[in-house]
Amino acid sequence: MKAIVYSRTGDPSVLDLVQREVPEPASGEVRVKVIVSGVNPTDWKFRSGARPGAPTPFAEVVPNQDGAGVVDAVGEGVRHVAPGDRVWIFLAAHARPTGTAQEFTVVPAERVVKLPDAATFDIGASLGVPAMTAHRALTVSEHGPRRLGPGSLDGRTVLVAGGAGAVGHAAIQLAHWSGARVVTTVSSAQKAELAASAGAHHVVNYRESDAAEAIRSIAPDGVDMVVEVSPARNAALNSRIVANHGTIAVYATDGGSEMTLDVRHHFSLNVRYQFLLLYTVGAEPLAAAADDITRALEDRALDVGELAGLPLTRFPLERTGDAHAAVEAGTVGKVLIDVASA
């Protein structure tokens, strides 16, 4: 089979296209024929390493955490999927040497989820890290909910920072599906159109107006939940718009890794700052996210593509390096790799 591998960290040039034997699934594992592989910022960051040339965690690594395809074989004890099932995959390469940038990948069974008939492989490959991160961000508030679904966020106002990104896009769609009033901030007219297409009820271009005033005009009592990509840059804004008992869920450090907070102000509002990292969040939240995301797929609440607010940029498997470079360069939307035909 064809596979993309790297044996040292560095820029995309460390990625090589090679031929490898098709792996066999062990007990509790699933082998998937990968149709589409999704690329996330973590994929190029892991490949890049702390410094170019630094040792890799395994002698040879196949990149990319997310993907979608068809079950090809299952190991002993696997019951929830069978050969021929269409599936989506998450965290394929977490603490393992092989991700989805290859024609066949073997994954722990709990990281393989049935893909509803209504969902395409493109949608399936775009879930994983972005959608599960968004789910976690929307389920960490003091008063819940712990699960998402129609009505679970009724009466809540959710602010999604950076609504044109992959996590922001998923957060908008999941919050909308769950009944929230969704506000998002963007930096351009193009991104405003994408966020609106994703389902945001209100879009604020922070470069054209005072974002806090605009958000307060929409939500006079403040925002209940913030899905935050840039905590350092947005700390002052969030302090002006967060509601009493509001939660700011931080999933990235765009704009810097240190922030300054007015402690007394946040005391007075009982604000919760919740930091989250998908790779260490634990099995239970991941399983809950997988279940809720699949229900959203069945309800056709999650979609990708230009009309759904998440443009797709595609590369063939042999150009995985270009796909990584595109994500690192900040390509708007989702970068996918076509691995095989269905």
305 inside domain: no
In a domain, 243, yes or no: yes
Contacts 24+ apart (CB under 8 A), 210-216: 211/185, 211/237, 212/237, 212/240, 212/241, 215/159, 215/183, 215/185, 215/241, 216/240, 216/241
Based on the fold, state whether residues 328 and 198 are members of the same structural domain: no
Is residue 302 a part of any domain in this protein?
no
Note whether residue 153 is domain-resident.
yes
Q: How far apart are CA 59 and CA 340, in angstroms?
A: 26
What's the confidence (pLDDT) of residue 93? 96
Q: How many CA atoms lie within 13 A of 34 on its CB side?
A: 34
Nearest to 234 by CA among 250, 213, 223: 250
Residues 13 and 39 reside in one and the same domain: yes
pLDDT at 255: 87
Position 22 in a domain: yes
One domain for residues 260 and 136: yes
pTM to 2 decimal places:
0.96
Q: What is the pLDDT of residues 299-328, one digit of tens each?
A: 999 999 999 999 999 999 999 999 999 999
Residue 296 in any domain: the answer is no
Q: How many domains does the chain have?
A: 2
Q: Are residues 150 and 272 in the same domain?
A: yes
Residues whose CB falls within 8 Å of the CB of residue 139, separated by 6 or more in sequence, listed in order: 145, 146, 147, 148, 285, 288
DSSP letter string over 163-192?
TTSHHHHHHHHHHHHTT-EEEEEESSHHHH
| pLDDT tens by residue, 35-68 | 999 999 999 999 999 788 888 999 999 999 999 9
Identify the DSSP state of 292. H
Same structural domain, 146 and 15:
no
Q: Which domain holds residue 266?
A: 131-279
79 and 177 inside one domain: no
Same domain, 148 and 241: yes
- Say yes or no: 115 and 141 in one domain: no
- pLDDT of the chain, 342 residues: tens digit per residue: 999 999 999 999 999 999 999 999 999 999 999 999 999 999 999 999 978 888 899 999 999 999 999 999 999 999 999 999 999 999 999 999 999 999 999 999 999 999 999 999 999 999 999 999 999 999 999 999 999 999 999 999 999 999 999 999 999 999 999 999 999 999 999 999 999 999 999 999 999 989 999 999 999 999 999 999 999 999 999 999 999 999 999 999 998 999 999 999 999 999 999 999 999 999 999 999 999 999 999 999 999 999 999 999 999 999 999 999 999 999 999 999 999 987
Q: What pLDDT, on a 0 to 100 scale, did the predictor assign at position 50?
A: 78
Write out 102-163 in H/E/C secondary structure: ECEEEEEHHHEEECCCCCCHHHHHCCHHHHHHHHHHCCCCCCCCCCCCCCCCCCCEEEEECC
| Residue 10 lies inside a defined structural domain of this protein | yes
What pLDDT sits at residue 103? 98
Shared domain check, 274 and 212? yes
Residue 287 lies in a domain: no
| Residues 85, 45 within the same domain | yes
pLDDT at 52: 80
* Claim to verify: residue 115 and residue 151 sit in the same structural domain: no
Task: Indicate whether 254 and 321 sit together in one domain.
Answer: no
Task: Give the residue carrying structure tokens 């869920």.
Answer: 249
Residue 275: give its domain's CATH number: 3.90.180.10
pLDDT value for 342: 75
Angle at alpha carbon of residue 169, lines to 32 and 204, rounded to 5°: 170
The one-letter amino acid at 234:
N
